[in-house]
Chain A
């Protein structure tokens, strides 16, 4: 990387995340002082968006090639008080907490205390949500049965498609105009609502165009002052680009990147959607520009690399907005889950890998920064070279890029009812979530704690940690004569909690739909304009709500243990088992030894355990999949944890698989840490028994020692291992290539290992930034070695 990129990268790495009051102040000004009462909510939101972009400070960093910052400086992170107010106490916690802190200076705190908090108190979505939820929801939430993604962050989880590479915002405005023109106030009873929404989209489009032009002026001013001849010319050129995009369609590689970036800043300024925003299939979108520009001789490969690197830095300048409470525990990271997709298939089903795919992989390797995340999509039609190149980067030990099975993703999306073309244009975002890019609102609603449901079942509806009744009475467990009685009780309890969660989701969906439209994001996702309907109200072509199951390994092993030790082998009675769990296995050394070492476990290709896993999967799937949402969409399942397996474990006492109280659960669809004894094929065979095609994504992590990838032969065989897993329809796999010894050393001496990056679950993070529990959990994961 050249000097410029090195210094931009360094600046990004060295800036520490801070909290910026800018957006919250502007928003508060707007709502407090604006004469807006007679405007509809979508128009108000669009005007607020416009107000923020009109008045926010323009930040252009030295040497930048792509411009636009959400805050006044890199990593200066706004808050979104209309969604979630950070109390004075929370600001203090954000500032002083050991992991994932945000600096909050005295002045900022004062602004929040005097201006922002008093105005928004009682108006935020978070408060609305908690006041709307019933007792059943609240007690389940507080017991840790599930989490709720939308209580601090807006619905997001969407990825941009091809739209902006063909159309400028002026084109979109024309479409909006035509749609307004065609509204039929005679027959369409929603025509007025549609017009308001469409007008709001128009206002938002203008807002971003003007925001770009403010950059153009500032760049021109800077070029006037610039003494370096080359930089002067560059600044002039950048000014021209910002005058052009997003108003008009991009004509060059550089314009395309800058256009996307303005759009990205727009989306994450409008609200704080989960998983920020994402260009998705970057190698596909940019390739025509790359070809054209290189043919014309206006772009070299090296310049393309530099522009991409400059683009990469922009993502890293934008940490996830500060999270608190349960949200911080379920997703405790600065990463904002923008996942660049590379490879896969084109819309017509051909191999999509191109020269740019490999160039971007070079960029991933050279930049070695947390954001953006990256992945390769691997279809049976893609060459092994794609996997090989990815493994060469993975083996340097930072958990990127992750590896996805395109053929599985397409089948998943098609099963959900998407057209095959829309499916092929899609991919995975966030951690592992499948989506039809550019056409789908696929919103993750929260994690679901499967082992907790078992614990509550074993206590006949009572949460043993609080002694409170949080579930339904499914029978005194000691009365269960056969395993199937127990399993039936578990299923009833599961069904109950899913109903509670779904009811809550439907209410939350309406709250966002009514009170928190996103006209700017709606501009970008098909078919919001055509339908005259907001993204948060069902405007997207496909609308999906996910509930993410967590702890599949732990709940499987626990149920397998009950079946094996209580009902089949009769080593203990259920009463004795429950007593041992209550005592956290104190004085039950022998029993715990049986449970851990002499009981079938998921992850070993052992049908005894794996059949139970399949039954759990089936129950979870049946209770969730296909149920309607309020936006004419469907509920679906996926299986991923981010960091919630640590939080969910902390709310569960000892489990029948031998796990002690408070310890983390298994993550994703990976086996319980250390339970897999039959090597990578054993893990993959067990994981392959999940019907991935009926999910919207599953997450498998494996830990390999560096020796396994030390030579060509090792890499070659790992390629075959990955292909084997994908033959079983495996959705995703990722590898940590590091030894437990290194991780232990990093725990002891964090200063020396400041740069050690590790795969957590669906994303990478600095090892020293992880909570102590999560560090220990990762060390405990089985290390696959060959000798």
Chain B
């Protein structure tokens, strides 16, 4: 896998050893991630996210700073705690990633940068992508798309696959359930699609919220209007993260939504997209 070495500005200005020392905050590296793109992958979870989706599975990735959480929610003694997030250099992350290359090679896998929102730590992300590219490691970026387009543009040549989250077409609903307007997300996706990048849309199915007939119809119409993007991962909602919300002391607004997802809803939506010619996978979200 040889790519044109079109490095972003930050990288060009520094020596290799300097950008090996770029630091970022991550909260986990998961091996044998099998739902975050092709093959066997390692997923690096960046800390910090601009959105506040009600159903977020990784609430520990929301705040950008390192935080201390109680293992037992409401533990007054405060004795049993865990530190969430760790500042790491690019080199130390790469050391962990390159250990897995044999599994990537064997399975057609690679690294997925997820979070949180990886685009919120652009220098760190770029440096990591640079080294992955140099080592011939397949890269995927799992993003909400909520970032200035020039950041996306600066990494585009080093990314093999974008996992692009799409929740609502309606800006108001988007704002209500994620805390942010979606116009930037939509316009970024159009531009990215225009660059003919390999993109898989990730659509979380939250009954009565994103799973409404109207929203599904709007999403599918929008994807149909794109030129290159035809892949969709459906991510069924589940409540594995409930306890995390308590530990993090974040309000969980999803309590009322029952799980598991009704299978017929998943099937209906799957059918909806398939009948419009999309390639549908129903995966799992990367937690």
Contact = CB atoms under 8 A, between A and B. Distances in A.
B100 interface: yes
Contacts of A721: 32, 40, 103, 107
A784 B109 CA distance: 19
Contacts of B31: 678-682
Contacts, number: 62
Interface string B91-122: 00000000110110011110000000000000
A727 B103 CA distance: 10
B33 A727 contact: no
Contact of A724 (B102, B285, B287): B102
Nearest to B282: A711
Interface in A684-737: 684-685, 708, 713-714, 717, 720-721, 723-724, 727-728
A787 B35 contact: yes
B151 interface: no
Nearest to A786: B34
Nearest to A718: B34
Contacts of A708: 34
B30 interface: yes
A724 B100 CA distance: 10
Interface residues of A, number: 21
A720 B104 CA distance: 9
Interface in B255-287: 281, 283-287
A678 B42 CA distance: 10
B240 A681 contact: no
Contacts of B35: 786-787
A713 B284 CA distance: 11
A723 B107 CA distance: 9
Contacts of A787: 35, 240, 284-287
B39 interface: yes
A714 B34 contact: yes
A784 B102 CA distance: 19
B30 A717 contact: no
Given A717-B39, A787-B35, A787-B240, A679 B30 contact: yes
A723 B35 CA distance: 19
A769 interface: no
Nearest to B106: A724
B39 A727 contact: no
Given A681-B40, A717-B40, A787-B240, A727 B34 contact: no
Contact of B103 (A713, A720, A784): A720
B32 A681 contact: yes
A605 interface: yes
B34 A713 contact: yes
A727 B32 CA distance: 17
B138 to A, nearest CB: 14
A577 B6 CA distance: 55
Contact of A720 (B33, B106, B281, B284): B106
Contacts of B283: 713
Contacts of A717: 32, 34, 39-40, 107
Given A678-B31, A787-B284, A787-B287, A720 B107 contact: yes
Nearest to B285: A787
Interface residues of B, number: 24
Chain B CB within 10 Å — which of A679, A708, A727, A728 has the most? A679
Contacts of A724: 40, 102-103, 106-107
Nearest to A719: B107
A717 B100 CA distance: 14
Contacts of A723: 106-107
A605 B103 CA distance: 13
Contact of B32 (A605, A728, A784): A784
A787 B33 CA distance: 9
A380 to B, nearest CB: 11
Contacts of A679: 30-32
A713 B38 CA distance: 10
Interface string B70-108: 000000000000000000000000000001101100111
A681 B107 contact: no
Interface string A599-619: 000000100000000000000
Nearest to A678: B31
Interface string A53-89: 0000000000000000000000000000000000000
Chain B CB within 10 Å — which of A605, A681, A685 has the most? A681
Contacts of B42: 681
B66 to A, nearest CB: 18
Nearest to B107: A720
Contacts of A720: 39-40, 103, 106-109
A18 B49 CA distance: 66
Nearest to A682: B31
B261 to A, nearest CB: 15
A669 to B, nearest CB: 18
A257 B167 CA distance: 62
Nearest to A680: B32
Contacts of B103: 681, 684, 720-721, 724
Nearest to B35: A786
A536 B210 CA distance: 73
A708 to B, nearest CB: 8
A726 B228 CA distance: 38
B257 to A, nearest CB: 18
B186 to A, nearest CB: 29
A611 to B, nearest CB: 14
Interface string B8-47: 0000000000000000000000111111000110100000
Chain A CB within 10 Å — which of B34, B42, B109, B285 has the most? B34
Contacts of A682: 31
B277 to A, nearest CB: 21
B284 A605 contact: no
A728 B109 CA distance: 17
Interface string A136-167: 00000000000000000000000000000000
Contacts of A685: 99-100, 102
A141 to B, nearest CB: 41
B117 to A, nearest CB: 19
A587 to B, nearest CB: 18
Nearest to A728: B102
A223 to B, nearest CB: 56
Given A680-B31, A720-B106, A723-B107, 6 more contacts: A681-B31, A681-B103, A682-B31, A717-B107, A721-B32, A724-B40
Interface of B: 30-35, 39-40, 42, 99-100, 102-103, 106-109, 240, 281, 283-287
Pairs A-B, 5 closest by C-beta atoms: A679-B31, A720-B107, A724-B106, A679-B32, A717-B34
9 contacts: A679-B32, A681-B31, A717-B39, A720-B39, A720-B109, A723-B106, A786-B34, A787-B284, A787-B287
